[in-house]
Chains A and B, each alone.
Chain A
Amino acid sequence: MAEIRRRKTLQLSAASALAAGAGGLAGILGSGRAPAYGQTQTMHWLRWADFVPASDQLLKGVIVKECEKALGMKLTVETINANDIQARITAAIQSGSGPDIFMTLNNWPQLYADSCVDVSDVAEDLGKAQGGFYDICKVVGTVGGKWIGVPWCAGGGLVAYRKSWLAEAGATEFPKTWDEYRTVGKNLKAVGRPYGQTAGHTFGDAPGWWYPYLWSWGGKEVEADGKTVVLNTKETVESVKFAVALWKETMDEGGLAWDDTSNNRAFLSGSISATNNGASIYLEAKKKPDSYLTEKGTPMKDDILHAGIPGGAGGQFNLPGPFTNLVMKYSKNQDAAKKFIRWMSSKEVFEQWFVSQQGYTCGPTKVWEEHPVWNIDPILAPFKKIPVTGRLTGYAGAPTQKAAEVQTKYIIVDMYAKAIQGMAPEESVKAAHGELVKIYGA
């Protein structure tokens, strides 16, 4: 019996492998493509855990299947707490491995600009096809005219309020000025129905309230040059003084410790009468009409309306939150990631997700303002104008990396929180101004 040696075995194995391929190695090389069995592309997309759970279910179910069918990609949608996304991005960039695409919030793309793939081709095409991106999406998603991320959608807050409670307190419609807001709020707090707003260290609701509040008084961080700090003005000091009184007279004072979910719970439990938030409070009340009831036993959803944050001498604003998809430079699937975003953001596919949001977020372009989803529920209709009525952090400059630093250090939020805790408003503003000078002047 002939002895089979190691070399012989290897030779036989190699020959078998070559023969197995259709046309052998020559055929593979000739086609210029990898064999079919090696083509299943994987795509890892990390996003926040959505405040509308139905949207995450859609992505992880229907969209994953459609993606495999349409693009031949095995999509993994990973959802984590929004407060933890930045830790994941940092770890991924520094280690050079992680998700192919990160969905970022606010002006975070500016922090990671050097680690993102140029996606100008995808963004320009999508923008053209859908009537052009909103300015807020463009400002956050570009650096020096180059797209570092593809805008996904735009979120933001409006004040959700209990219309019957406000009516009982003397407001047939939501107060439009701060003085009216304070007067009504006093009446509400007197009967144990305060307003509720966070002044704590939390990513969304805290800046979402205090930045527009500052702007409405005419205060701002810097001049348009993005360098000259102008926070310490009479307008800002007045805004802080008023905030202290507003807090004591109208607000739930536990708000200093609230995170982004606390006001949702407080509102749905009937502890507060109004709070600036995304549409998630209403959507939850709508989803469970038998669980969330008014004191009269009727569904709470029928007693909820939305309105803009009151205005002041500086105007009336909100802080929109653009969501942007970033393709990371360390990814080995960069082209595939761009292909995926192009597909996912296309009208037909994006629409499924957009409808699942029911008005919680707006599209990244104006065409989505005309979508029938806004006609389904008039309570949510006010949200569709958020992207065009907002300003971004860092105003009057651009929402740069320095603006992001100010935001993540909670300097503006803490300026109000410190005064609420007892610091003299002038001192609180002076301290915040000093911190801004260190950041913008560096």
Chain B
Amino acid sequence: MATVGSVASVAFKQQYIPAAKRGPITRLLEDERRLAFCLMLPTVVLLGLFIAYPFFNGILLAVTDTRVGVPGHFVGMDNFVKIWNDDIFHVAVWNTCLYTFVTTVFKLALGLSLALLLNRHFRGKAFIRAFILLPFIIPTVLSTFAWKWMFDPTFSVLNWMLFHAGIIHTRINWLGDPVMAMVSVIIVNVWRGVPFYAISLLAGLQTISPELHEAAAIDGARAWARFRHVTWPLLLPVTLVIVLFSVIQTFADFQLVYVLTGGGPANATQLFATYAYQLGIGTGLLSQGAAISLAIFPILLLVVIVQLVYIRRTETL
């Protein structure tokens, strides 16, 4: 009986226990396609509301003659023809390209140098890393106002310092001279953008195995050779993505120039975004403002395509 009893108890223990009752949502989400859809939905909604809708609305505006408070009529490509023949627009295109190119080169060079330094071990590393991010954290308008004071034609603290250090004998007209005004906005943009590069590249550097460097060192590679043949090739995909983001942001930059120079003097620092704002908001010509904003699109699209193709190539090598 005892044997029978033990067999019965084993049978009892092995009895099938039904799973807890699943709710209708759980059952619905068991389908991977549905789950994927639900996971993507918030992003799609956000992108639709804040990217796609303004973008398509911008296209609609650009092909009409809409002014503030006055619904427009379809005018085809008229606004694009107008801006194509607009001398200030030409200046803005040149300025934007120059501004983006120069700032990107400097931000990359300085950001990479900073990242390589921060990747070393030293005391207070965590504090320094956090401190480096400050320019990126402070709201752009706020920090730009501080720079505006530093570049002030009458009260520039930079001029004061340079003068008392014996470096200059007459004041530098930072924002009043067309060349210096562009230099000034570039300086501020680089100051603000370097932390983004530095921290992002630092993250990339930390994914590179130290063993690779050790192996290269054992093989006799010096610091420069290790950087050129080990660090740089492995960092390149990350760098390209960072440059891509940075180019897009810089190309559409507005706040910094608007606060610092308002696009002046005599349009010397006028960019796509500031000119679009001046026409769309200042003058009420919404459709022309939209056309200028859209004119950025093909240029940026080209940049994005070239970079993405290059990134794919480097990843498949």
Contact = CB atoms under 8 A, between A and B. Distances in A.
A435 B87 contact: yes
Contacts of B67: 111, 114, 401
Contacts of A172: none
Contacts, number: 119
Contacts of B282: 86, 408-409
B265 A93 contact: no
A46 to B, nearest CB: 15
Interface residues on B, range: 35 or more
B205 interface: no
Contact of A438 (B85, B155, B266): B85
B261 A257 contact: yes
Nearest to B65: A442
Nearest to A256: B176
Interface string B75-107: 000000010011110000000000000000000
B253 interface: no
A26 interface: no
A183 interface: no
Given A90-B284, A111-B284, A257-B174, A410 B264 contact: yes
B232 to A, nearest CB: 41
A115 B87 contact: no
B228 to A, nearest CB: 43
Interface residues on A, range: 35 or more
B181 interface: yes
B281 interface: yes
A421 B68 contact: no
A329 B70 CA distance: 12
B87 A434 contact: yes
Contacts of A252: 153-154
Interface string B256-274: 0000011111111000000
Contacts of A114: 67, 69-70
A417 B154 CA distance: 18
Given A201-B261, A257-B264, A434-B87, A421 B178 contact: yes
A404 B153 contact: no
Interface of B: 67-70, 82, 85-88, 151-155, 171, 173-178, 181, 261-268, 277-286
Given A112-B69, A256-B175, A417-B265, 12 more contacts: A87-B277, A93-B68, A114-B69, A201-B265, A257-B151, A262-B154, A265-B155, A405-B283, A409-B279, A418-B266, A435-B87, A438-B85
State the 4 A-B residue pairs at the shortest beta-carbon distance, nearest first: A254-B153, A115-B69, A257-B175, A256-B176
11 contacts: A89-B68, A90-B284, A114-B67, A200-B176, A253-B173, A258-B176, A269-B154, A405-B283, A409-B278, A421-B266, A438-B85
